[in-house]
Amino acid sequence: MHTLPLDTYGRMDVAALETAINEYIASKHPIISIVSIFGTTEEGNVDPLTEMIELRDEKYRPMNVDFALHADCAWGGYFAALLWDNLDDPEGTPLPPLPLSDYVIEQFQNLKHTDTITVDPHKTG
């Protein structure tokens, strides 16, 4: 397991992630899975899932490097099931209306591009 630093918003530092991936590639160390946190219990922080998906799909897969992306949605995943009639609609609005940032809405809309998701309503719901 490899721990990464956080950015100033308490989210995974994507530049540090990319550096770590490159180091693992160079040392021929397998990368099994990368885990994004989708709503920390204490602060509700959401990792930059969209950027992680772009790294995997646009940079590393063409290099024949692949890994699973897991979204730990034990806290935030419950909301994904409640907030949208259709998460595929980029113009969709949260139902009921909530003061979510555009950033968080974008991360919700990209959950469909992960390989696995944990949802555990004991934290929220």
Q: State pLDDT tens for residues 92-120.
A: 655 556 677 889 888 988 998 999 998 88
User: Does 4 map to a domain?
Assistant: no
Tell me the three state secondary structure of residue 105: helix
- Residue 59 corresponds to which amino acid? K
* Number of domains present in the structure of the chain: 1
pLDDT for the residue numbered 87: 56
CB 94 within 8 A of CB 48: no
The angle at the Cα of 48, spanning 14 to 23, to the nearest 5 degrees, equals 25
pLDDT for the residue numbered 97: 61
User: Does 1 map to a domain?
Assistant: no
User: Does 8 map to a domain?
Assistant: no
What pLDDT, in 10s, does the model give residues 48-86?
A: 999 999 999 999 999 999 999 999 988 777 777 766 555
State the CATH number of the domain containing residue 112: 3.40.640.10
Provide the domain limits for residue 24.
14-119
Percent of the chain with pLDDT over 90: 55
pTM equals: 0.84
User: Does 9 map to a domain?
Assistant: no
- Tokens 């934290």 belong to 123
CA 20, 25, 28, 30 torsion: positive or negative? positive
User: Does 24 map to a domain?
Assistant: yes
User: Does 84 map to a domain?
Assistant: yes
Residue 117's beta-bridge partner residues? 71
